[in-house]
Chains A and B, each alone.
Chain A
Amino acid sequence: MQTTLVERDVLERVLGTAMERGGEFAEVFVEDRTTTSAVLDQRRIEELSSGRDRGAGIRVVVGDTTGFAHTADLSERGLLAAARSAASVARGGGGGVREVALGALADHPTRATTQPRDVDKAKKIELLLHADDVARTEGSSITQVQIGLGDSTRRFVVANSEGVFAADHQVRTRFNISCVASGDTGMQTGYRPIAGTRGFELLTMEAVEEAARGAARQAITKLDARPAPSGDLPVVLAGGSGGILFHEACGHGLEADAILKQASVYAGKVGQQVASSLVTLVDDGTVVGEWGYLALDDEGRPGARNVLIENGVLTDYMWDYLRARKEGRSSSGNGRRQSYQHLPMVRMTNTYLLAGDADADEIVAQTPRGVYVAQLGGGQVNTATGDFVFGMTSAFMIEDGKITSPLRDCNLIGNGPEVLQRVDAVATDFSMTPGTCGKDGQSVPVGTGQATMRLTGVTIGGAS
Chain B
Amino acid sequence: MSDLLERAERILESAHGDEELEVYVSTGVDTEVQAYQGQIEQLATASSSGIGIRILRDGVAGAQVGTAWAGSLDDEAVEEALREARDNVRFATEDEFIAFARPDGVAAVSLELTDDAVTTTPLDEKIAMAIELERMVRAGDSRIRQVDSANYSDYVAEAAIVSSTGIRASYARSGAYVSVEAIASDGSNDETGWGLSAGRAPGDLDIAKAANDAILRATRMLGSVKPASMKCTAVFDPRSAATLLAIIGGACSGEAVVRGRSFFANRIGEMVAASMFTLFDDPTDPRHFAASAFDGEGLACRRNVMIEGGQLKAFVYDTVSARRAGTSSTGSAVRGGIAGSPSAGCRALQLVPGDIDQAEIFRRVGHGVYVESLMGVHSGVNPISGDFSVGVTGLMIRDGQLAEPVREITVASTLQRMLLDIVHVGNDVEWLPGSAAGQTVAIEGIALSGS
Contact = CB atoms under 8 A, between A and B. Distances in A.
Contact of B379 (A38, A69, A380): A380
Contacts of A261: 36, 146, 148
B388 to A, nearest CB: 8
Interface stretch (B76-84, B162-170, B208-216): B76-84
B71 A55 contact: yes
Contact of B72 (A70, A72, A186, A413): A72
B408 A186 contact: no
A36 to B, nearest CB: 8
A47 B260 contact: no
B342 to A, nearest CB: 11
Contacts of A71: 46-47
Interface string A59-74: 0000111111111100
Contacts of B42: 65-68, 343
A377 interface: yes
Contact of A464 (B85, B411, B447): B447
A176 interface: no
A389 B449 contact: no
Contact of A64 (B36, B95, B414): B36
Given A382-B375, A461-B390, A47 B46 contact: no
B407 A377 contact: no
In this complex, which of B81, B192, B393 has the most chain A Cβ atoms within 10 angstroms of its Cβ? B192
B390 A389 contact: yes
Given A188-B385, A391-B379, A408-B385, A413 B408 contact: yes
Given A51-B70, A262-B145, A409-B380, A69 B44 contact: yes
B314 interface: no
Contacts of A387: 375, 391, 393, 407-408
B91 to A, nearest CB: 5
A33 to B, nearest CB: 9
B256 to A, nearest CB: 10
Given A230-B229, A459-B449, A462-B389, A64 B71 contact: no
A182 interface: yes
B125 to A, nearest CB: 15
Contacts of B238: none
B376 A72 contact: no
B88 interface: yes
B40 interface: yes
A426 to B, nearest CB: 23
In this complex, which of A47, A343, A462 has the most chain B Cβ atoms within 10 angstroms of its Cβ? A47
Interface in A376-426: 376-380, 382, 384-385, 387-391, 393, 408-411, 413-415
B261 A65 contact: no
B141 to A, nearest CB: 16
A41 interface: yes
Contacts of B74: 72
A463 B72 contact: no
Contacts of A380: 375-376, 378-379, 391
A463 B234 CA distance: 14
A3 interface: no
B258 to A, nearest CB: 9
Contacts of B195: none
Interface string B386-410: 1111110100000000000001111
Contacts of A44: 92-93, 95
B289 to A, nearest CB: 17
A366 interface: no
Interface string A440-464: 0000000000000000000111111
A10 interface: no
B146 A50 contact: no
Contacts of A222: 385
A359 interface: no
Contact of A47 (B66, B77, B393, B409): B66
Contact of A121 (B49, B88, B183, B380): B88
B229 A231 contact: yes
A66 B43 CA distance: 6
Nearest to A53: B71
Given A51-B69, A231-B450, A411 B339 contact: no
A199 to B, nearest CB: 19
A263 B183 contact: yes
B291 to A, nearest CB: 22
Contact of B451 (A53, A262, A388, A459): A459
B327 interface: no
A461 B380 contact: yes
Nearest to A124: B91
Given A380-B376, A411-B410, A50 B84 contact: yes
Given A45-B93, A49-B339, A462-B449, A378 B259 contact: no
A189 B229 CA distance: 28
A300 to B, nearest CB: 20
B222 to A, nearest CB: 11
Contacts of A343: 42, 44
Contacts of A393: 379
Contacts of B412: 227-228, 230, 410-411, 461-463
A413 B409 CA distance: 7
B68 interface: yes
B191 interface: yes
Contacts of B92: 44-48
Contacts of B190: 265, 384-385
A438 to B, nearest CB: 9
A49 B41 contact: no
A122 interface: yes
Interface in B257-292: 259-261, 263
Interface in B334-367: 339, 341
Interface string A123-160: 00100000000000000000110100000000000000
A426 B82 CA distance: 53
A187 B385 contact: yes
27 contacts: A46-B93, A49-B341, A51-B68, A55-B72, A64-B36, A67-B43, A69-B44, A69-B46, A125-B91, A144-B261, A186-B263, A187-B260, A228-B412, A261-B36, A263-B183, A343-B44, A378-B376, A385-B191, A387-B375, A387-B393, A391-B379, A391-B380, A459-B409, A459-B450, A461-B389, A461-B412, A464-B447
Given A380-B375, A461-B409, 20 more contacts: A46-B93, A47-B66, A47-B88, A50-B69, A53-B71, A144-B259, A186-B263, A343-B42, A377-B379, A384-B148, A385-B190, A388-B375, A389-B379, A391-B379, A410-B410, A411-B389, A413-B391, A461-B449, A462-B389, A463-B389
Interface of B: 36-37, 39-49, 65-72, 74, 77, 80-81, 84-85, 87-88, 91-93, 95, 145-146, 148, 183, 189-192, 226, 229, 259-261, 263, 339, 341, 375-376, 378-380, 382, 384-391, 393, 407-414, 447-451
